Structure 1
Amino acid sequence: MRISRATLDDVARLQQFRTDAAAWLADMGSDQWSTPYPEDLLLESIQAGDVFLFHDLENAPPVATVTLDAKADPVLWRPEEIQQPALYVHKLTLAQPGKRSGLGRRILDWCGDRAARRGARWLRLDAWTSNTKLHAYYRDLGFTHVRTVYDAEAYGSGWVAQRPAKMSETTLFDGPDA
């Protein structure tokens, strides 16, 4: 598997990832991601080099995406937590959600490895407040629930969790950005 940074040429594909995931989530009874992600924020993340694509083969279309950055949302994280070195996972999306391939776990492990190599103490994320299946998934992967924030500015994604950033003993992906 190969990893690459998303470019502005990938915007349509990234939007399609979200649309497809929202449809799958709706079929599961969730309204998560039912509103489009603001394109200006997506473009900003791409230009910052924070959006990654995961490919099965060298020239194959991506099978997953994640945004990984150091931007703590002050609505979700307290000032003393924001002071701690951490990387934040956003918009982890698989082309085929629910397939149970282990790809989501591998991507989160890659994110944790990247966080540790950058000197971060924590790998953090937030999840849709009402998506209890997703909460259980993250707990099964070693994340500890910190709190649930019920604030309109959290846009429904107020369940926050973290796990220690940890270097991987194996190479999870290949490529210049791995």
Structure 2
Amino acid sequence: MLNSAPDTMPDDAPDDALYVRAAHPGDLPRLAALRAEAAAWIALEHGSAQWSSPYDPERGLALIARGATVVAALEPDSEAVATVTIRPTGSPRLWSAEELACPARYLSSFTVDRRHAGRGVGARLGDWAAWRAGCSGARVLRVNVWSDNAALHAYYRARGWRWVRTAPGSRSGALFERPTAAVAPAGVHEAGRLRT
């Protein structure tokens, strides 16, 4: 995954509702803005070049067309405060043939608006993704993150993700996984039909 640290959630953070829906082409400017904001924050706070390459709108549209990208908002039909892409296949450059044979889903582009960091948005969206992955028959949810982003590695570990290994030769080769969930997370609501 080419992510920012989605957020941190203090114990006393409010448990706001989260509304998840499939992204549509009209979301493309917001997705590009979330990525640009995350890249600037990561560079400033963590010294990482993660997401320093320009957002690719054609790739973004292709993922939207496949139903792989979702957005989350704090109110129905309001501005997206987070996004994640969930795919049924992982990269054979990163994951072994044995790992790819295991029923899994793969996250990418997991981003939370920095104005909402600390509210648990990323944690709840990650829990939702684990539940949706389980609904699809996957046993694990996986992500590959930038190898030099130690803060992001700590974020995932703190939320129950297990570090698998770091794939050599890839700037986003730190591999993590977590079991899927059998129960939908409280306070997360889906709008419309999702294909993830």
TM-score (norm 1): 0.92
Letter in 1 for 2:109: K
CA contact (8 A) 1:116 1:167 kept: yes
Which residue does the alignment assign to 1:15? 32
Structure 1 runs (4+) deviating above 4 angstroms are none
Root mean square deviation of aligned Cα:
1.6
1:76 is aligned to 2:74: no
1:176 is aligned to 2:192: yes
Deviations 1:111-152 (A, max 9, x none): 10001111101100011100111101101111111110122x
1:162 is aligned to 2:180: no
Identify which range, 160-169 or 116-125, moves more after superposition: 160-169
Letter in 2 for 1:143: W
TM-score (norm 2): 0.84
1:123 is aligned to 2:141: yes
SS at match of 1:62: coil
1:45 is aligned to 2:63: yes
Q: How does 1:135-154 map to 2 (within 5 A)?
A: 135-151=153-169, 154=170
Identify which range, 10-19 or 168-177, moves more after superposition: 168-177
Q: Which has the higher contact order (CA 8 A, sep 6+)?
A: 2
Which residue does the alignment assign to 1:85? 103
SS at match of 1:53: strand
* Aligned residue among 16, 19, 34 for 1:2: 19
* Aligned-residue identity in percent: 35
- The aligned length equals 175
Q: Distance in 1 between matches of 2:96 and 2:187?
A: 32
Structure 1 segments unaligned to the other structure (5+ residues): none
Structure 2 segments unaligned to the other structure (5+ residues): 1-17
